[in-house]
């Protein structure tokens, strides 16, 4: 292997993950998503609040569940967020000094994006990250076994699911 290629591979290994979360936040949040599926009869989801560091890494600091800001968000069995929920979300963000760094929702089986996921990002701004947890979030899903998508704008998405912990790093922060 050439020294140039070795250098590039070294830089890739040193690149910080795009998003990080302490296990003490991730694991209870995922368990709560699983609980809110009501015996696997409906999807659930959450806004992931946190901060962005100077190097661009987002840190998840809190789960705010969709049905806490919009009691009707889970009424149909799939996640449907009404615009009336956003003022409450922004109020929570202001009170904590956080922003929305990503969102997460569950699917009944796999973690691929549905047509409605692709067509209606929760935060329709380029760079927004969306996670999809399979099997109604049962079994403590982690990077490498979850969907990780970045909205690029104009209906386009980048799939980072195969990047695993190089994209989403869970740790003992």
10 is a domain residue: no
pLDDT at 39 (0 to 100): 80
pLDDT at 173 (0 to 100): 61
43 is a domain residue: yes
1 is a domain residue: no
Q: What is the CATH number of the domain that holds 107?
A: 3.40.140.10
Tokens standing for residue 96: 């904590």
pLDDT at 25 (0 to 100): 97
Where the chain has pLDDT below 70, the residues are: 1-14, 74-78, 82, 173
pLDDT at 8 (0 to 100): 47
41 is a domain residue: yes
8 is a domain residue: no
2 is a domain residue: no
Structural domain harbouring 62: 17-171
pLDDT at 41 (0 to 100): 79
pTM of the predicted structure, to 2 decimals: 0.88
86 is a domain residue: yes
131 is a domain residue: yes
Domain count, the chain: 1
pLDDT at 40 (0 to 100): 80
């Amino acid at each position: 292997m050439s020294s140039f290629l070795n250098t590039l591979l070294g830089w890739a290994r040193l690149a910080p993950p795009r998003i990080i979360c302490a296990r003490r936040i991730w694991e209870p949040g995922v368990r709560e998503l699983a609980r809110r599926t009501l015996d696997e009869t409906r999807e659930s989801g959450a806004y992931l609040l946190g901060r962005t560091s100077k190097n661009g890494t987002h840190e998840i600091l809190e789960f705010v569940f969709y049905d806490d800001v919009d009691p009707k968000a889970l009424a149909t069995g799939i996640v449907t967020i009404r615009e009336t929920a956003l003022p409450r979300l922004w109020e929570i963000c202001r009170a904590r000094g956080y922003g929305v760094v990503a969102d997460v929702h569950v699917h009944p089986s796999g973690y691929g994006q549905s047509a409605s996921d692709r067509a209606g990002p929760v935060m329709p701004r380029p760079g927004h990250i969306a996670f999809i947890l399979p099997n109604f979030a049962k079994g403590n899903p982690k990077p490498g076994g979850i969907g990780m998508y970045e909205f690029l704008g104009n209906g386009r998405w980048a799939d980072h699911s195969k990047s695993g912990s190089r994209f989403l790093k869970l740790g003992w922060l």
